[in-house]
Amino acid sequence: MSSATSHRAVPAPQKIRESVKQKSALPWLTLPALFFFVVFAVVPLVGVLALSFANWDGIGAIGVAGMENWTSVLSDPELYNSLGLTFMIMIVSWLVQTPISLLLGVFTAGTQRYRAALAVLYFLPLLLSSAAVAIAYKALLDPNFGLAMGLGLPFLAQDWLGVPQLALGLIIFVIAWQFVPFHTLIYQGGVRQIPKSLYEAAQIDGAGTIKQFFHITLPQLKYTIITSSTLMVVGSLTYFDLIFVLTGGGPGNSTRILALDMYLRGFRANLMGPASVIAVILVVVGLALALFLQRLGGKDQQGSQLEGM
């Protein structure tokens, strides 16, 4: 070391020590999070995996079942019905919710006062609990005592929740009604992040509103779309309360999605082993979907969205 550096280093050791301290403290900062992750995620996960190879009615002693639960669940047509319904609700919900919340998000991103007022209105459904939403819709849709008869509109008095196709469609509608506000909020935030200068430049070049939307807004929202879609898709695996209250999985098995199937097997039929198998399947499907959606974003997702402007 030269004397020049030692001169300048008079106040430095303190700083260096501090920065070293900070660096070495960083791993410790993750400990609380790690603790909760292990206690509330890893331990139950291992427990469920173990239970999926066990015989348990939820009350008596736990016995070893080997592969029995897995073979019986995997050969059960009900599983594939539930799996199909889960994907159906997932895909149709995405197709319904994404355009609506994207357009609403773009619309409410403006700063006019009336837009702010409307944004508050749009946001209201999200403030209600799923159970309350389900009970309210159930009462409104009752073909004999519901809204249709109250308003004297008998053509609306369909057996909404009693016909398999109608019930499924209705569930997708109610899910959209409840969750569009949340995704609207995400898109609103995304749109507000887009630099004004891009639009100003486009306007100078003579691009209209529609051109601006497709050439600036939509590409700039790429990562917002991926974030919102990930939440939508992975979240749709856990739609439970709404469907449980609205249809209970019926009529027949026409709305018995995977999460509901797991609950009914475990807590109604006392089959904790097979229910755990379904729980494991849910985890695997959820992880696979989340990873797939991350891949869609590509590696450059880590970089800045504003690069090259």
Residues that bind another protein (CB under 8 A): 57-61, 138-139, 141-145, 159-162, 164, 167, 247-248, 250-253, 264-265, 267-271
Residue closer to another protein, measured from CB, 138 or 222: 138
How many whole angstroms from its chain centre is CA 191? 20
Minimum distance from residue 233 beta carbon to another protein (Å): 28
Nearer to another protein, 165 or 302 (CB): 165
30: CB partners within 8 A, 6+ apart: none
How distant, in Å, are the alpha carbons of 124, 128, 145, 201, 239 from that of 131?
Answer: 15, 8, 20, 48, 11
Nearer to another protein, 98 or 254 (CB): 254
Cβ atoms of 174 and 133 within 8 Å: the answer is yes
Q: How far is the CB of 32 from another protein (least distance, A)?
A: 20
Q: Nearest approach, Cβ of 83 to another protein (angstroms)?
A: 17
Q: How far is the CB of 80 from another protein (least distance, A)?
A: 16
**Cα separation of the two ends of the chain:** 44
We find the least distance from the C-beta atom of residue 194 to another protein, in angstroms, to be 45
Spatial CB neighbours of 280, under 8 Å, sequence gap ≥ 6: 48, 49, 52
Closest CB to another protein among residues 105, 273: 273
Distance (Å, whole) CA 259 – CA 241: 10
The smaller minimum CB distance to another protein, of residues 18 and 159, is found at 159
